Amino acid sequence: MMKIDILSIFPEMFDGVLGHSILKKAADKQAVNYQIVNFREYADNRHQTVDDYPYGGGAGMVLKPQPIFDAVEDLMQKAVSKKPRVILMCPQGERYSQRKAEELSKEDHLIFICGHYEGYDERIREHLITEEISIGDYVLTGGELGAMVVIDSVVRLLPGVLGSEESHIQDSFSTGLLEHPHYTRPADFRGMKVPDVLLSGNHRLIEEWRVKESLRRTHTRRPDLFEDIDLPDEHQKWLSEIKKQDE
């Protein structure tokens, strides 16, 4: 079972997300255990203050190191597996990807730190965490929403969580490409018809169509993804044909 600890001063934000859909089913199946920790409870002052003014002046408040250090160290002492990965949600971090989700899904224990205010005391970055993650080049009010995104993408990859083990394998980015189009009943909706090949029952032709459409969609929408993909010769040929058709 994967253990996920979430440090936040707004723990109630996670109730709806973790209590529904795939994330709830994963917990019900005992594939994952969530614990939300309000690190304000670790503050060593009477008012449970977790932020302070930045040295040198400037706008905003900065999260103090003491409550977060104490909270993480307490969780580590209680950990039953190897040293957890401690993830700081931060717009300065590594841009999140499906590859990172697959990497994290193989871990036994993840600790997420969700910050607020202007930022974190730098000593948290330098001496406590294992990595920083950003879900995009923009700034959110806090790290909670980013942590929810990462947790969702990781948990759905855990064994037995999805109804079909092939579901996540065919997802966009799992193969390096964008996923092919999908269709369902009716075959003719207001004159808009499902491609004939999908109704043919010929699985080889259907798979070929799906690969070609995946290549086409990636070429049209995210051609940059091809820079990190080593396509088989046959797929390279199909991609060349797609590019010629677009010229």
DSSP for 74-121 reads HHHHH--SSPPEEEEEEEEEEEP-HHHHHHHTT-SEEEEE---TTEE-
44 is in an annotated binding site: no
Flag the least confident range among 78-92, 98-112, 183-197: 78-92
Sign of CA dihedral 17, 66, 43, 121: negative
Q: Give the homologous superfamily in CATH for domain 188-246.
A: tRNA(m1g37)methyltransferase, domain 2 (1.10.1270.20)
User: What pLDDT score was predicted for residue 32?
Assistant: 98
Residue numbers annotated as active site = 91, 118, 156, 171
**In whole angstroms, what is the distance from residue 159 CA to residue 136 CA?**
27
Closest CA to 125 of 135, 115, 117: 115
Helices (runs of H) and strands (runs of E) counted in the chain: 8, 10
Task: Give the residue-averaged pLDDT of 177-192.
Answer: 95
Q: 135 a known binding residue? A: yes
How confident is the model over 106-165, as pLDDT tens digits? 999 999 999 988 889 999 999 999 999 999 999 999 999 999 999 999 999 999 999 765
Flag whether pLDDT at 169 surpasses 80.
no
User: Helix crossing, 21-28 with 144-155: angle to 10°?
Assistant: 60
What is the per-residue pLDDT for 61?
93
Q: Is 204 exposed, middle or buried (0-12, 13-18, 19+ CB in 10 A)?
A: exposed
Q: What are phi and psi of 158, to 5 degrees?
A: -70, 145
Segments making up each domain of the chain, as ranges? 2-155, 188-246
Average pLDDT over the chain reads 93
pTM of the model: 0.89
Statement: 2-155 belongs to CATH 3.40.1280.10: yes
User: 7, 120 in Cβ contact below 8 A?
Assistant: no
CB within 8 A of 81, min separation 6: which ones?
3, 108, 109
**The pLDDT of residue 101:** 97
| Structure confidence at residue 80 (pLDDT) | 78
Largest Cα separation within the chain, whole Å, is 71
Compute the distance between CA of residue 156 and CA of residue 144 in angstroms, rounded to an integer.
18
Place 173 in a pLDDT band, splitting at 50, 70 and 90.
Answer: low
78-82, 140-144, 203-207: range with lowest mean pLDDT: 78-82
Q: Tell me the chain's radius of gyration from C-alpha atoms.
A: 23
- Is residue 167 scored above 70 in pLDDT? no
Was 56 annotated as part of a binding site?
no
pLDDT per position as a tens digit, 50-76: 999 999 998 889 999 999 999 999 999
**Pairing label, strands 192-193, 188-189:** antiparallel
